[in-house]
């Protein structure tokens, strides 16, 4: 993190601390922030992401299954919001790389040991959508750096999934099994958006090329993505209304927003 000529290293830990380090002095951190929610709950952080490459605003996933938003500096430094939805520790968190003038509040993905991937907005603590196609632990998710609706996920069964939400929000557009089915724990797109690297628990890195039709967005992808997010938000609202009606014994319609 930092400017072109001044770099810092940031680290998080399940002890509830966010530390800032100077690369010239790694013996002790320059700054240590206690991650607590509402001055009571210590956030046992497991993963971290900056919001749209803003090194002040950050997101962390935790052992308690919650995601948290916070800031490093200013009057509101520390944890500000909690996002509840997972039933097990969060394994990764990926902020959407906003690059367009279309108004979209910053989005992010979380993966978890509860076998799900969830989509959120920084501006609202309620879940937008839950993708539950996995059959085991999901260890990582990463947005494409150039395509607004494309992201990748990997799980411990050796599966790499590529999702294009503008095409289908129910199932992945592409699914690939790694030979030998090693547990996959990391995935990252190349800055060109045309290649993806996947790491496994045997210490190997698998490289994949994406075809142009999948990797390169069309001119209308941002508009389509904005509509897709609006539709998913509406489905989430309907689901919450159904849940409320069911709680009080009112007639309901079949639930729809959880993706199986």
CB 208 within 8 A of CB 192: no
Domain for residue 105, yes or no?
yes
Q: Give domain status of residue 8, yes or no.
A: no
What pLDDT sits at residue 24?
86
Asked if the structure places residue 62 within a domain, the reply is yes
CATH of the domain at 63: 2.130.10.10
Asked if 37 and 82 count as a contact pair (C-beta separation under 8 A), the reply is yes
For the entire predicted model, the pTM comes to 0.87
Local structure of residue 10 (DSSP, 8 states): E
- Is residue 168 within 8 Å of residue 121, measured between CB atoms? no
Residue 106: which domain range? 37-252
Q: How many domains does the chain have?
A: 1
Contacts of 187 (CB under 8 A, 6+ apart): 140, 141, 142, 152, 153, 154, 160, 196, 197, 198, 199
- Outline where the chain has alpha helix (H): 212-215, 221-247
Q: What is the pLDDT of residues 87-125, one digit of tens each?
A: 999 999 999 987 665 556 799 999 999 999 999 999 999
Pairing verdict, β 124-131 and 258-259: parallel
The CA-based angle 105-107-96, given to 5 degrees, is 115
**86 pLDDT higher than 50:** yes
pLDDT confidence bin for 256, thresholds 50/70/90: very low
Instruction: Answer yes or no: is 184 within a domain.
Output: yes
* 28 domain-assigned: no
Q: Can you give the C-alpha Rg of the chain in angstroms? A: 19
């Amino acid at each position: 993190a930092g400017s072109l000529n001044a770099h810092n290293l940031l680290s998080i830990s399940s002890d509830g601390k966010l530390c800032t380090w100077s690369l010239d002095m790694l013996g002790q951190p320059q700054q240590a922030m206690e991650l607590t929610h509402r001055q009571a709950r210590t956030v046992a952080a497991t993963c971290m992401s900056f919001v749209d490459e803003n090194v002040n605003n950050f997101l962390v996933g935790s052992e308690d299954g919650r995601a948290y938003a916070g800031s490093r500096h200013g009057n509101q430094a520390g944890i500000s919001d909690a996002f509840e939805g997972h039933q097990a520790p969060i394994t990764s968190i990926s902020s959407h790389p906003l690059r367009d003038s279309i108004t979209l509040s910053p989005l992010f993905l979380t993966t978890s040991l509860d076998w799900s991937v969830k989509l959120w907005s920084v501006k609202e603590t309620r879940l937008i959508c839950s993708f539950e196609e996995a059959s085991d632990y999901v260890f990582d998710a990463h947005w494409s750096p150039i395509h607004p609706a494309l992201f990748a996920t990997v799980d411990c069964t050796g599966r790499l999934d590529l999702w294009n939400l503008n095409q289908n929000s129910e199932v992945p557009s592409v699914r690939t099994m790694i030979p030998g089915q090693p547990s996959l724990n990391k995935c990252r797109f190349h800055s060109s958006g045309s290649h993806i690297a996947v790491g496994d628990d045997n210490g190997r890195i698998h490289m994949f090329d994406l075809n142009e039709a999948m990797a390169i967005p069309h001119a209308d992808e941002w508009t389509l993505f904005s509509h897709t997010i609006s539709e998913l938000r509406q489905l989430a609202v309907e689901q919450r209304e159904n849940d409320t009606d069911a709680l009080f014994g009112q007639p309901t319609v079949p639930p729809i927003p959880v993706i199986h």
